[in-house]
């Protein structure tokens, strides 16, 4: 199956700092990637849709100035959590849309963010 | 109303049991249907796509009933390794850029 990588897998940072998370599709081109957040024992929550070459589309309630998304190439999208606070601590997962056969998505392994 | 509703679970079954999960979706225009599996503290992984004719992959059988907007997953001869959360997922072709809608997941624990 398709492979999506995510880096870093785990990050601990101080409150007020910014953290960048990378999402890469390794064996296919993805014009669309998605960023999710998941709190313990809860379902995935879509934060934003990342579109290659254009602005991201954010879900209601997600601050675009706090969660900066850049999709500069067909294989890379980045999410930057700016001025992180403890309540931003969560599991962040990206997915890349694969339209080669059946329109579906493959997920990266996730990034566990802890803000102290 | 949520886009995708799933059995709340949890399901606790012995090894070798057969277990079925159900799911309903609200948008009749939905085009693609999937079951994903998510292990604790891991990302979701595609288990199988679901087709109108139904499909089978080893011990796993998925069914789709478009008239009732109902999706099911049947697991036969459960293994300990089947313990996970199973996510019912729907893709509405009319939605923005292939967005997926997730059910909240059904937790399965298979015990020896």
Residue of B nearest to A90 (CA): B41
Distance from C-alpha of B72 to C-alpha of A38, rounded to nearest angstrom: 24
Coarse DSSP helix, strand, coil percentages of chain B, rounded to the nearest 5 percent: 5, 55, 40
pLDDT at B94: 56
- Residue B102: beta bridge partners? B89
Tokens for A59, please give them.
């879900």
At A43, is the pLDDT very low, low, confident or very high (cuts 50, 70, 90)? confident
**Is pLDDT at A88 greater than 80 in this prediction?**
yes
C-alpha to C-alpha distance for B111 and B81, rounded to whole angstroms: 10
Instruction: Note the pLDDT of residue A98.
Output: 82
pLDDT at position B52 is 83
pLDDT for residue A102: 66
Tens of each residue's pLDDT in chain B, 112 residues: 678 999 878 999 999 999 999 999 998 888 889 999 999 889 999 999 898 888 999 999 999 999 999 999 999 999 999 999 999 999 876 555 678 888 989 999 999 9
Would you call A1 an interface residue with chain B, using a CB distance cutoff of 8 Å? yes
Strands A76-81 and A19-25, by their bridges, are antiparallel
Measure the N-to-C terminal CA separation of chain B; round to a whole number of Å.
38
| Whether B32 contacts B82, CB under 8 Å | no
Tell me which residue has tokens 């024992």. A41
Element (H, E) at B86: strand B84-91
CB within 8 Å of chain B, chain A residues 20-59:
32, 34, 42-44, 46, 49, 51, 57
Query: What's the rounded Cα separation, in Å, for the pair B37 and B44?
Result: 5
Mean pLDDT of chain A: 91
The answer to whether the CB of B69 falls within 8 A of the CB of B25 is yes
């Amino acid at each position: 199956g398709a492979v999506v990588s995510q880096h870093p897998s785990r990050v601990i940072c101080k409150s007020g700092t910014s953290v960048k998370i990378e999402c890469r599709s390794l064996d296919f081109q993805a014009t669309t990637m998605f960023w999710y957040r998941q709190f313990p024992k809860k379902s995935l929550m879509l934060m934003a849709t990342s579109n290659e070459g254009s602005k991201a589309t954010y879900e209601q309630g997600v601050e675009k100035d706090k969660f900066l998304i850049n999709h500069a190439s067909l294989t890379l999208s980045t999410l930057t959590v700016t001025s992180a606070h403890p309540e931003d601590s969560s599991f962040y997962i990206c997915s890349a849309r694969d339209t080669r056969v059946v329109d579906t998505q493959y997920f990266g392994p996730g990034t566990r963010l802890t803000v102290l | 109303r949520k886009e995708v509703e799933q059995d709340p679970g949890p399901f606790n079954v012995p090894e070798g049991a057969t277990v079925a999960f159900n799911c309903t979706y609200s948008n009749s225009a939905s085009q693609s249907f999937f079951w994903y599996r998510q292990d604790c503290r891991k990302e979701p992984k595609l288990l199988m796509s679901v087709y109108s004719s139904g499909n089978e992959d080893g011990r796993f059988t998925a069914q789709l009933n478009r008239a009732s907007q109902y999706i099911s997953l049947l697991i036969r001869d459960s293994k300990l390794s089947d313990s996970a959360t199973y996510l019912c997922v729907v893709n509405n072709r009319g939605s923005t850029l292939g967005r997926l809608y997730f059910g909240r997941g059904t937790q399965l624990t298979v015990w020896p």
